[in-house]
Amino acid sequence: MGQFRFLTAGESHGKGLTMVIEGLPSGLPLAESDISPDLARRQGGYGRGGRMKIEKDHAEITGGVRHGYPLGSPVSMWVQNRDWVNWTEKMAVEPVETEIERVTRLRPGHADMPGAIKYGFDDVRNVLERASARETTARVAVGAVAKRLLAEFGVAFNSHTISIGGVHAEVPETIDWAAVEADPVRCADAASGQRMIDAINAAKPDGDTVGGEVEVRVSGVPLGLGSHVHWDRKLDGRIAQAICSINAFKAVGFGLGFASTEMRGSQVHDVILPLAEWRGQAWRHKTNNHGGIEGGISTGEEIVVRAAIKPIPTLAHPLPSVDLDTGEEVLAHYERSDVCVVPAGGVVAEAMVAIVLADAWMEKFGGDTLSESRANYEHYLTTIGPRARRD
Residue 219 host element (H or E): strand 212-219
152 in Cβ contact with 374 (< 8 Å): yes
Residues 57-84 pLDDT 10s: 999 999 999 999 999 999 999 999 999 9
pLDDT beyond 60 at 1: no
Query: Cα angle at 388 between 383 and 391, to 5 degrees?
Result: 60
Distance CA 90, CA 61 (A): 28
For residue 278, the model assigns a pLDDT of 87
Environment class of 266 (CB within 10 Å of its CB; exposed 0-12, middle 13-18, buried 19+): exposed
* Residue range 245-259: mean pLDDT, rounded: 96
| Nearest of 117, 85, 90, 86 to residue 102 by alpha carbon | 90
Q: Identify the DSSP state of 45.
A: S
* Residue range 345-373: mean pLDDT, rounded: 97
| Nearest of 248, 361, 260, 246 to residue 311 by alpha carbon | 248
137 in Cβ contact with 39 (< 8 Å): yes
Percentage, residues of the chain above pLDDT 90:
89
Name the percent of the chain in helix, strand, coil, to the closest 5: 35, 20, 45
Q: Identify the DSSP state of 177.
A: H
Higher pLDDT, 5 or 314: 5
SS3 341: coil
| Nearest of 160, 159, 305 to residue 237 by alpha carbon | 305
| Nearest of 309, 285, 311, 313 to residue 299 by alpha carbon | 285
- What's the whole-number average pLDDT of the chain? 94
